[in-house]
Amino acid sequence: MSNSILGLDGKVAIVTGASQGVGLGCARQFVQAGADVVITCRRAAPLEKAATELRASGRKVVAVVADAENPEEFAKVIDAAQKNFGRADILVNNVGGRRGKPEGSLLESGPEYWRGTLECNLVSVFSCTQAFARHLIAAKRPGVVVNVASVAAFHASPNLAPYGASKAGLIQATGTLALELAPHRIRVCGVAPGMVDTDSLREWLDDAKISARGRKLPAGRIGLPDDLGKVVLMMASDLGAWIYGATLVADGGELLGDVHHPPA
């Protein structure tokens, strides 16, 4: 596909949680499409490693160590975009996960697991989107926000109520934010990934279990970070210009139910 149809040449994308996994997959796609990027996460070493990889594309990459859950720290990310590029056009709210120790079921877990997970997956999106929107409005520029949710919002999983609830809340908030920000020429939409092969997933599942789960999907495998990066790229680009408030499921058919591909 020609990059011209995407309309991303010279645009600047901020991607949170971009040192690895889906966030890095998103950043890869943006630089390949001709955009410059500001990437951020809380850890310096993996962030710089990601930045080095992305700079090989020839695009400008700015890495900012910051906690997207902290509004004061995320302000540094906006400042870096303004200082280095004079603008920011796209925000990908990719930070997410589980915070606190998941002790087990409702009867066993503590409130810190709920609070931490909601802060990470929901409150951080509010803070980052607010700062980004204020920047765009002050600059009188249009922009796009893409929120990364999860198919966990649509089905129940034992011991994962805080995670699923936070992602369901994010999907609802995506629609509300789209309504609030559309008058300011800021488009808000979302993507709900299924299972993706990331370092975080491999902390829970080994190769055999990941392969077995992938064979049950209609796609025949679980997702890769670049699979999701391409979907986010489409949503953020001119190809997604008519998408307001919707969250696109990109899960290799996971929500459709199991099929059984033979082992490779």
- Catalogue the active-site residues: 163
Provide the 10 A C-beta neighbour count for residue 42. Answer: 16
Alpha carbon distances (Å) from 66 to 19, 43, 81, 249: 12, 8, 13, 29
* DSSP 3-state of 191: strand
Report strand pairing: 36-41 vs 61-65: parallel
What is the residue-wise DSSP string for 79-106?
A: HHHHHHHS---EEEE------S---SST
71-85 vs 124-139: helix crossing angle, rounded to 10: 40
* DSSP 3-state of 164: helix
Cβ neighbors of 247 (< 8 A, separation 6 or more) are 147, 149, 171, 174, 189, 190, 191, 192
